[in-house]
């Protein structure tokens, strides 16, 4: 059976759907911190990933063999609650790594992020092994987590796999605390208000990816031949790199009257510490990664799905 933590989040909600397509609803248990009474899901349980005993009993009770551990605190929120961000992101990962070491589970997926790169990292086509001196709590926790994953793999043979996600763009859930979430917000605002005040400056280029590509990459990596995997920290992954101005121009091809303005806030410093684009040649070589959604296709897909979701004609 498969366990997904953070299953009500931006990635978790879509990964749960994709995994259930493949393995069946009854074989994919979705969990998050919310009370089941408020959750529309046939196979959901509350799970506080800070509670190691609760994790162990859920794993045993449901005969869990594979875990996708997505519960975490994202970059902007973690800057407001540094200690809680570190504790949540790190302690929960170590609980699952220990379960894998003790053979209580067979395989673990844990997401990292381009946030592990910092201001000193070369920003264009950032290499798999580029300098990682993150300047955010989130980036520090993700880089530390990568090194723990590699340690448990090298020392105890744990089959843990990871991807450094760029900013992810999706329409099924509202944005939650990410610096790259301007690229999700903008679509809602464009359709609902016809205008958007962006919390990053117009030339802030960041690595981005449409959610369908990120979900497919995650499942392809987890199904890849382990002997082909040369990276056990976390794989660089690339598809799109654009600025808020470029995204606004693409939206205006569909909504000519859409207007964008810029009012950078504390998240600008976070974005400025991150790369603009990523080199993912190692993922291409090790497990044949290829993205499918370019800027035009992503924009068209986002607007079409959000119009339906927001019941806007």
By beta-carbon proximity to ligand VAH, the closer residue of 29 and 200 is: 200
C-alpha span between 94 and 222 (Å, rounded): 19
C-alpha span between 58 and 70 (Å, rounded): 16
Q: Minimum distance between the CB of residue 180 and ligand VAH, rounded to whole angstroms?
A: 4
Q: Minimum distance between the CB of residue 58 and ligand VAH, rounded to whole angstroms?
A: 26
30 contributes a contact to ligand VAH by CB under 6 A: no
74 contributes a contact to ligand VAH by CB under 6 A: yes
DSSP state letters, 193-225: TSEEEESS-TT--EEEEEHHHHHHHHHHHHHS-
Residue 274 φ then ψ, to 5°? -100, 160
By beta-carbon proximity to ligand VAH, the closer residue of 137 and 221 is: 137
- DSSP-derived secondary structure letter, 119: T
Closest CA to 97 of 47, 17, 162, 8: 162
| Token couple for 126 | 């950032």
By beta-carbon proximity to ligand VAH, the closer residue of 145 and 166 is: 166
Among 179, 204, 218, 273, binds ligand VAH (CB under 6 A): 179
138 is catalytic: yes
Length in residues, the chain: 313
Among 13, 30, 31, 75, binds ligand VAH (CB under 6 A): 75
235 contributes a contact to ligand VAH by CB under 6 A: no
By beta-carbon proximity to ligand VAH, the closer residue of 20 and 142 is: 142
> Please, which of residues 248-287 interact with ligand VAH by CB under 6 A?
none
- DSSP-derived secondary structure letter, 126: B
Cβ neighbour number for residue 93 with a 10 Å cutoff: 26
# binding residues, ligand VAH (CB under 6 A): 12
Among 6, 85, 118, 178, binds ligand VAH (CB under 6 A): 178
- DSSP-derived secondary structure letter, 179: G
HSE value, Cβ hemisphere, 13 Å, CA-based, for 100: 28
Among 4, 47, 67, 114, binds ligand VAH (CB under 6 A): 114
| Token couple for 77 | 């929120």
By beta-carbon proximity to ligand VAH, the closer residue of 6 and 167 is: 167
HSE value, Cβ hemisphere, 13 Å, CA-based, for 68: 29
Site string for ligand VAH, 121-160 (x = CB under 6 A): -----------------x----------------------
Do residues 183 and 266 make contact, with C-beta atoms less than 8 angstroms apart? no
User: Catalytic pick from 44, 68, 109, 138?
Assistant: 138
Residues annotated as catalytic (active site), given as ranges: 138
Name the residues that contact ligand VAH, by CB under 6 A: 74-75, 113-115, 138, 166-168, 178-180
């Amino acid at each position: 059976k498969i366990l997904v933590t953070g299953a009500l989040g931006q990635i978790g909600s879509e990964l749960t759907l994709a995994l259930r397509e493949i393995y069946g609803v009854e074989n994919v248990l979705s969990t998050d911190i919310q009370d089941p009474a408020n959750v529309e899901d046939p196979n959901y349980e509350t799970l506080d990933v800070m509670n190691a005993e609760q994790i162990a009993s859920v794993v045993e009770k449901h005969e869990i063999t594979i875990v996708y551990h997505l519960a975490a605190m994202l970059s902007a929120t973690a800057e407001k609650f540094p200690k809680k961000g570190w504790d949540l992101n790190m302690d929960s990962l170590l609980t699952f790594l220990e379960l894998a070491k003790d053979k209580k589970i067979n395989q673990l997926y844990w997401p990292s992020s381009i946030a592990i790169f910092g201001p000193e990292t070369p920003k264009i086509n950032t290499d798999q092994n580029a300098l990682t001196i993150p300047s955010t709590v989130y980036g520090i926790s993700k880089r530390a987590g990568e090194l723990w994953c590699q340690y448990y793999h090298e020392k105890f043979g744990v089959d843990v796999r990871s991807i450094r996600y760029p900013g992810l763009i999706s329409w099924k859930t509202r944005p939650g605390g990410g610096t790259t979430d301007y690229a999700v917000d903008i679509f809602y605002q464009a359709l609902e208000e016809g205008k958007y005040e962006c919390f990053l400056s117009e030339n802030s280029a960041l690595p981005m990816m449409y959610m369908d590509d990120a979900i497919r990459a995650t499942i392809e990596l987890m199904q890849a031949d382990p002997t082909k995997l040369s990276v056990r920290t976390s794989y660089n992954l690339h598809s799109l790199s654009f600025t808020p101005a470029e995204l606004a121009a693409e939206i205006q091809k569909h909504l000519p009257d859409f207007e964008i303005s810029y009012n950078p806030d504390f998240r600008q410093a976070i974005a400025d510490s991150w790369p603009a684009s990523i080199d993912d040649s190692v993922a291409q070589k090790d497990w044949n990664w290829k993205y499918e959604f370019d800027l035009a296709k992503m924009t068209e897909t986002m607007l079409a799905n959000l119009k339906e979701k927001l019941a806007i004609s």
